[in-house]
Structure 1
Amino acid sequence: MIERDDWLLLTYKVPPEPARRRMALWRKLKSLGAVYLLNGLCLLPRTADHLRQLKILEHEIAEMGGEAVLLEATPLDAAQRVRVVERFRADRDAEYRELIERCDGFEGEIAREAAAGKLTYAELEENDEDLKKLKAWHAKIAALDFYHAPLGAEAQTRLDRCETLLEAFSKQVFEAQAENAPDRDEAPR
């Protein structure tokens, strides 16, 4: 968790075309965890890494023919700090909410496959890959959760539950496959 009360503020203006360059810039800023206060005006907690990344983006903006100003910002009072922190938390909660919805889907898929008797290694492998994707996505969100968004704990709990369900499903698959395996004590006919 970041305890500091200062941020890096980037304000920029880039040419409207080509749109793909503007979108690439926006994606880079969002991937850093930036919060947009207005179009072309965003904040990140002040860290050495964020400063380095924003300086690189400032250079990219200039290469696009745009303008950028990078400043340090501090809140005027506690209420302003709370407002900014809540913006960061709201962005992360939106991402955690989507992850939780995907966990719902994962849990439903496991239940459907178990109920339908789809207890195969192929299904297990597919579900294992899905869980790995959910874990990787969670790790990305958590890395940008600078101020401990409220849904972070629930997202972790749901991810843990998905892992427990997959573990139980894998035991069912192993048992089903063992039952379907030819008896090794029988002589071939």
Structure 2
Amino acid sequence: MIFAMHESDWLLLIYKVPAEPSKRRLALWRKLKGLGAVYLQNGVCLLPKSDHHRRRFKIVQNEIGEMGGESFLLESSGFDRRQQELIAGRFNEERNAEYREFLGRCADYLAEIERETAAQNFTYAELQENDEDFKKLKSWLEKIGRLDFYGAELAAEAARQLLLREERLEEFSQAVFAAEHERLKSRPFPPSEENP
């Protein structure tokens, strides 16, 4: 969902948790990053204002309390348009970093299909592996897209590259089907039991 900037554009979570155990603090950080939160500094993060994000932050606040920490949840907006653009830019920087990583995996995926094609490894096992890898790429892009609140510039390129991989997977599957057809044609039929 792409958010427009209005007054009170963001929900601001300010928190402090005990240093130990560090794995709980790390789990909290991962949860907030998984929501798409941007950190302005240690213990200060924000998300675009929405009912969904408010509910998620309230759940996190409860977890912070259970950890023996404290937190404040506030509505916030940039002082001026420039501040709003800077914050939206921070969100886009983080999403673009994820899109770049995704694009790298797309390149790896294509290289794998090209290696299998060059080796003429047209088997159902290879097709299944490539199909599963494509589904993972698609799911990953959908996840990034759900956190792309302000329309990061690499979103369109990531979608285009995924579509190209889907087309290449279809070409590979056609080669597998053709190879399997040839293998079936070359197999002798077993003798019929009716005609000994």
- Counterpart residue number, 1:140: 143
- Counterpart residue number, 2:104: 101
- Counterpart residue number, 2:51: 48
Shift of 1:20: 1.2
Q: Which letter maps to 1:153?
A: A
- Counterpart residue number, 1:2: 3
TM superposition score normalised by structure 1: 0.96
Shift of 1:188: 3.9
**Residues of 2 paired with 1:20 and 1:159: CA distance?**
35
Structure 2 residue ranges without an equivalent (≥5): none
Instruction: Tell me whether 1:115 sits opposite 2:118 in the alignment.
Output: yes
Shift of 1:108: 0.3
Secondary structure of 2:103's counterpart equals: helix
Q: Which letter maps to 1:82?
A: E
- Counterpart residue number, 1:86: 89
Q: Which letter maps to 1:98?
A: E
Shift of 1:183: 5.1
Q: Conserved in 1, the CA contact under 8 Å of 2:5 and 2:84?
A: no
Secondary structure of 2:177's counterpart equals: helix
CA deviations 1:13-67 (Å, max 9, x no partner) are: 1111111111111111111110011111101000001001101111110110111
**Residues of 2 paired with 1:165 and 1:71: CA distance?**
48
Shift of 1:186: 5.8
**Residues of 2 paired with 1:76 and 1:121: CA distance?**
58
**Residues of 1 paired with 2:189 and 2:20: CA distance?**
73
Summarize the Cα distance change of 1:110–1:144 in structure 2 as closer, same or farther, 3 Å threshold: same
Larger radius of gyration: 2
Shift of 1:187: 7.1
TM superposition score normalised by structure 2: 0.93
Instruction: Tell me whether 1:20 sits opposite 2:23 in the alignment.
Output: yes
CA deviations 1:113-165 (Å, max 9, x no partner) are: 00011110000000000000000000000001000000000000000011000
Instruction: Tell me whether 1:156 sits opposite 2:159 in the alignment.
Output: yes
Q: Which letter maps to 1:96?
A: Y
Q: Which letter maps to 2:94?
A: D
Q: Return the match for 1:131 from 120, 131, 134.
A: 134
- Which runs of 4 or more aligned residues in structure 1 lie more than 4 Å from their structure 2 counterparts after TM superposition? 183-187
**Residues of 2 paired with 1:48 and 1:54: CA distance?**
10
Q: Which letter maps to 2:128?
A: E
RMSD over aligned Cα atoms:
1.5
